[in-house]
Amino acid sequence: MSARRSLRGYPLATAILAVALLLAACGSQVDPATMANAAGTSGGVGGEAPGEDGAGGDLPGLPGVGDGADPGPDAPGPDDDAAAPGGPGPADGPDAPGEAPDAEGEADTPSGTGDNAPSGSTRAGSCEGFKNTTGITRDVIKLGNAADISGPVPGIFQGAQEGARAYVAYFNSRSDICGRKLEIVTADSRADNAANEAAARQFCGSVFAAVGSMSAFDAGGSATTQKCGLPDLRSTSVDPARNACTTCFSTQAVNSALVNRSVPRWFARQKPAAVKRAATLHVGAGAAPINAKSQAEAWRRNGVNVTYEARIDVSEFNYAPYVQQLKNRDITWVQYVGPFQFAVRLAQAMQQQNYKPDFYVLDLTGYDPRYIQSGGAAVEGTYVWMPTALIERPQDNEEMALYQAWLQQVKPGAIPDSYGLFAWSAARLFAEKATELGGRLTRQSLVQALKGVRKWTANELHAPQDVGGKRTAECQRILRLEKGRYVQVSRGDYLCEGLVDTGIGG
């Protein structure tokens, strides 16, 4: 797909809502209620964002990508086009949040063509023999979505629910599957295995398939989902039990035993001395412990010498002792595995103790405007590794522009994030495969079709994902937070250097 296209009836640069949070720089003293409020629910929150000095100042609503200092030998050169300004403001384009509908009762909404059309370039299968079944009537195909909306960090994965709803709205505006529209049935998994189990039981008997779900505790319900034959195409699978479910897949394929090589190798090339004393810390909940353990082993095999590992309970909000351990051990490379809200606590505790490692590293969870805005000066210099196109550059990616525009239709003021991006991808993949199957669409035929999907990119919305093989993506890009804006510091689109099998999890 070429960059810089126009959408029919809509400018490619979509409306992006700027969000600001006003938080006191409380470091490890931030109480759980305050941190939960900082997480938001993917909607706009008024106030001033902390600037570099911790005082009020302007920050972009999305992590920006701009020119930064030379980060080392793998940094993009002046012709790599990896650095670019942030996206447009909320008033740009006809779909700006809060716009009134047109005379026909519908807002002016964008539509892609070709691969970006609601069913892509898929050749529709014959509708002959189409049968109604669980979740399918003569009018609709019901799809379930279970995401962590309430729980320890309220709204943490609401973006996944909104992303799925956004694609369904886009699809229904232009297409159907053998005369049937799509309908999303939502459930709150509450970061709880029991709630996931309840959602699975509900969906087994009421919807045809599940799309775009996301939970920190997705092991719950995995056996039930498989037993009833429910196709479950998730935003991301995080627990080995969900990955083992034979009817479960995800558009961000993750196998905890298979870890990307390119990330540790990139850091080892930048500053060899710094990676000799490394540490990984993780939240003590969900799949984070097993993922952190596997990553630490992979880092060791690829040039990053992890000498200290620590688990931090969800209920802990005094991070000072952990920082003291990092200082005592002279750690110069630190990775945190867990929600960005807790990564902010760690960064603020490090700031309070005047401790600054050479590298503070997060995965995709750190690529979120709320991390920048709630962390302020404490999170400056953070590195993130992630497998998606740049959210702040919708003008370069037609699918990204569609996702963001339709997100504003279903949730005016919502902040696009990686969870929503992969949920949109999951809903698109369902729509394309269901359209192709036509009258042959059943739960069983859909599962078989998904098993054959090996290099899914949702029109370059993200790096190639082995959906059917359930293997971790080989390709990642690395960004650094500089002056409130993320700067890509790895060369090209993605770093692709294969996977290492740690044998941990899987």
DSSP secondary structure string, 241-256?
A: HHHH-TTEEEEE---T
Spans of all domains in the chain: 27-90+257-392+473-501, 131-255+395-451
How far from 321 is each of 15, 249, 347, CA to CA, in Å?
Answer: 43, 39, 13
E-assigned strand segments in 355-459: 359-362, 383-386
Give me the pLDDT at residue 285, please.
82
At 482 the three-state DSSP class reads: strand
CATH code given to domain 131-255+395-451: 3.40.50.2300
How far from 361 is each of 172, 267, 282, CA to CA, in Å?
Answer: 40, 10, 12
Q: Do domains 27-90+257-392+473-501 and 131-255+395-451 have the same CATH topology?
A: yes
Q: Answer whether CATH 3.40.50.2300 is correct for domain 27-90+257-392+473-501.
A: yes
3-state helix, strand, coil in the chain (%, to 5): 35, 20, 50
Contact predicate 143/171, CB 8 Å: no
DSSP state of 465: B
| Rounded Cα gap, residues 333 and 276, in angstroms | 8
Q: How far is CA 70 from the centre of its chain?
A: 27
Could you give the angle at the alpha carbon of 465 between the alpha carbons of 10 and 401, nearest 5°? 10
| Rounded Cα gap, residues 271 and 294, in angstroms | 23
Tokens in use for 70? 């030379």
Q: What is the CA radius of gyration of the chain?
A: 22
Find the farthest-apart pair of alpha carbons in the chain and give their distance in angstroms, rounded: 70
Tokens in use for 479? 């960004």
Bridge partner residues of 481 (DSSP) = 486
DSSP state of 153: S
For tokens 């529209």, name the residue: 181
Could you give the angle at the alpha carbon of 376 between the alpha carbons of 373 and 378, nearest 5°? 140
Those residues whose C-beta lies under 8 Å from the C-beta of residue 105, and which sit 6 or more positions away, are none
The number of CA neighbours under 13 Å toward the Cβ of 183 is: 15
Ordered per-residue pLDDT tens for the chain, 506 residues: 434 333 444 333 333 222 222 222 232 222 333 323 333 322 222 222 333 323 322 223 343 443 333 334 343 333 333 333 233 232 333 333 333 333 333 457 789 999 999 999 999 999 999 999 999 999 999 999 999 999 888 888 999 999 999 999 999 999 999 999 999 999 999 999 999 999 999 999 999 999 999 998 899 999 999 999 999 999 999 888 999 999 999 999 888 899 999 999 999 999 999 999 999 999 998 778 988 999 999 999 999 999 999 999 988 989 999 999 999 999 999 999 988 999 999 999 999 999 999 999 999 989 999 999 999 999 999 999 999 999 989 999 999 999 999 999 999 999 999 999 999 999 999 999 999 999 999 999 999 999 999 999 999 999 999 999 999 999 999 999 999 999 999 999 999 999 999 999 87
418-437 helix and 443-451 helix, angle to the nearest 10 degrees: 120
Please state, as a whole number, how many other Cβ atoms lie within 10 Å of the Cβ of residue 100: 5
Bridge partner residues of 141 (DSSP) = 136, 182
| Rounded Cα gap, residues 492 and 497, in angstroms | 13
Q: Residue 407: name the closest of 170, 236, 213, 171 by CA.
A: 170
